[in-house]
């Protein structure tokens, strides 16, 4: 599959590469996010040594590393014997590299597993051998927790040695158009609601088949890569994932308040809070508060949601139905998915619309400093974008309906906007509606008079 998006990340790396001094850049992010593909694109046509660590003993790692370094320098002896220790590796590179050279070590956490002191060893290697060279060192890792402990946190041995860091996150919704140029907006939102924009999952999808055929063949079949993917990823990150499975299932089934998750899982509050913090640290769960909250971290209005799209889909539809799937009843589960899939996508569409708001801001069409949802008691507004500097506030609703949106939706949005206290009486209000299926003529006429922004799903492209 062709290389898609990641322009910003490439720009950052190219800028650092042009600086004529030693660089140490950790690159990390969840597995399958495209770290290796990004780095391969970056090092293309540059003098570079790429080494993929594996779950083998340390001496075997050093031997394999020596093979890669020896091949780069045309050193047959080194390629055959390997390095005897890490300091020989550092010393060899210092002596042999006079010009800009890239050293990429992929899956650095495997090195940590083979030697718990490896981060301290690399710290000494940078201080004593690398810091005065023109080497460009990249350490990559999919275990976010381990990369933070060993490289990124303040107390990590390598913390003060990095000259930058790059966390690779999911690409935006619009990148799907590059992956699937012949797909319509409805199909792209459906894909986004199942796999997110994880490249390794997207390349598995058959563009000739609809989303339900892909779900049945790639996710509900117990012999497939995606069927066990979530379980595999959690076991990579967590020693005892069973409790996390229960929590993620609860959130996926709509239990979003802390009290609701406690009642559903029967975990004590202190224990559950610790588990949730770990899941937040792994970027799997996020705590959402109304965007108008002045002190978000102290807010008692917090709701939890699964941040990872594929995890959300898997825990909503696959995990609760494992017993059916294990005996080959994938068709039965697929029927259940079809019954609620539009409801699932209605929440997905909200995120697509928020992303489009960010695009409009970058294009100078609207201005805001923060964006999110708002709720109180039984009232909710899908999108609020706040322009603190100019006391402006945008109120938005996203409707994933097969019917055109009418004036009743605008009236209700204005009613709910009157309940939002932020800068009330001093603010300038704007209204915008997002619709899958367009708008009634009556709403279009009124929108012109009142300068309401109407955005159809098709316009987002």
What are 257-289's pLDDT values in tens digits?
999 999 999 999 999 999 999 999 888 999 999
Judgement on whether residues 434 and 312 belong to the same structural domain of the protein: no
Alpha helices in 184-284 (DSSP H): 185-195, 199-202, 211-218, 229-237, 242-252, 258-265, 269-281
Judgement on whether residues 370 and 282 belong to the same structural domain of the protein: no
Judgement on whether residues 181 and 200 belong to the same structural domain of the protein: yes
Q: What is the mean pLDDT of residues 416-425?
A: 94
pLDDT band per the 50, 70, 90 thresholds, residue 1: low
State the Cα angle at 377 between 250 and 281, rounded to 5°: 40
Q: Each residue of 2-48: pLDDT tens digit? A: 677 888 999 999 999 999 899 999 999 988 999 999 999 999 999 99
Q: Residue 447: which domain range?
A: 366-460
Encoding tokens for residue 343? 């409801």
Boundary of a domain, candidates 149, 167, 185: 167
Nearest to 394 by CA among 407, 408, 381, 376: 381
Count other C-beta atoms under 10 Å from residue 347's C-beta: 14
Q: What is the mean pLDDT of residues 117-129?
A: 96
CATH number at residue 380: 3.40.1350.10
State the pLDDT at residue 2: 64
252 contacts 308 by C-beta, under 8 angstroms: no
What is the rounded CA–CA span in Å between residue 416 and residue 381? 7
Q: H or E stretch including 51?
A: strand 48-52
Q: CA 132 from chain center: how many Å?
A: 35
Q: Indicate the length of the chain as a whole number.
A: 461
Q: Each residue of 236-246: pLDDT tens digit? A: 888 788 999 99
318 contacts 227 by C-beta, under 8 angstroms: yes
Q: Is 383 exposed, middle or buried (0-12, 13-18, 19+ CB in 10 A)?
A: buried
CATH number at residue 32: 3.40.50.300
State the pLDDT at residue 239: 79
Q: H or E stretch including 73?
A: helix 58-73
In this model, does residue 370 exceed pLDDT 80? yes
State the pLDDT at residue 152: 85
Please check whether residue 15 lies inside any domain of the structure: yes
What is the rounded CA–CA span in Å between residue 96 and residue 91? 9
State the pLDDT at residue 143: 84
State the pLDDT at residue 193: 97
């Amino acid at each position: 599959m062709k290389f898609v998006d990641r322009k910003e990340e490439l720009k950052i790396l190219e800028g650092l590469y042009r600086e004529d001094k030693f660089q140490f850049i950790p690159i990390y992010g969840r597995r399958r996010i495209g770290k290796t593909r990004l780095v391969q694109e970056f090092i293309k046509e540059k003098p570079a040594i790429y080494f993929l660590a594996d779950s083998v003993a340390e001496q075997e790692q050093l031997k394999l590393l020596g093979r890669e370094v020896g091949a780069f320098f045309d050193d047959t002896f080194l390629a055959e014997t390997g390095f005897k220790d890490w300091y020989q590796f550092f010393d060899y590179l210092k002596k042999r590299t006079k010009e800009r050279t890239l050293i990429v070590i992929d899956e650095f956490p495997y090195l940590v597993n083979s030697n718990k002191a490896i981060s301290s060893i690399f710290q000494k290697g940078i201080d004593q051998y690398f810091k005065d060279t023109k080497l460009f060192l990249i350490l990559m890792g999919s275990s976010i927790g381990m990369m933070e402990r060993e490289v990124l946190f303040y107390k990590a041995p390598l913390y003060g040695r990095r000259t930058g860091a790059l966390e690779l996150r999911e690409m935006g919704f619009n990148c799907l158009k590059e992956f699937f140029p012949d797909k319509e907006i409805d199909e792209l939102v459906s894909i986004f609601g199942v796999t997110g924009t994880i490249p390794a999952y997207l390349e598995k999808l058959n563009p000739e088949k609809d989303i339900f055929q892909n779900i049945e063949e790639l996710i509900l079949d117990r012999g497939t890569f995606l069927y066990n993917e979530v379980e595999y990823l959690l076991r990579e990150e967590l020693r005892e994932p069973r409790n996390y499975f229960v929590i993620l299932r609860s959130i996926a089934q709509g239990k979003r308040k802390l009290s609701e998750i406690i009642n559903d899982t029967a975990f004590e509050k202190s224990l559950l809070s610790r588990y949730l913090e770990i899941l937040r640290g792994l970027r799997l769960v996020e705590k959402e508060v109304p965007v108008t909250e002045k002190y978000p971290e102290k807010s008692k209005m917090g709701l939890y949601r699964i941040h990872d799209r594929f995890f959300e889909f898997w825990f909503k539809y696959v995990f609760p139905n494992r017993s059916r799937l294990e005996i080959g009843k994938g068709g039965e589960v697929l029927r259940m998915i079809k019954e609620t899939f539009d409801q699932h996508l209605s929440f997905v569409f909200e995120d697509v619309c928020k992303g489009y708001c960010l695009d409009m801001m970058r294009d100078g069409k609207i201005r805001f400093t923060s964006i999110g949802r708002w709720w109180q008691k039984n009232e909710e507004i899908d999108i609020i974008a706040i322009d603190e500097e100019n006391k402006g506030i945008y109120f938005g609703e996203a409707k994933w309906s097969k019917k055109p949106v009418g004036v009743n939706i605008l009236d209700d949005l204005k009613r709910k906007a009157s309940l939002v206290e932020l800068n009330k009486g001093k603010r300038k209000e704007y209204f915008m509606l997002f619709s899958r299926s367009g708008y009634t003529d009556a709403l279009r006429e009124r929108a012109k008079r009142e300068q309401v922004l109407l955005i159809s799903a098709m316009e987002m492209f």
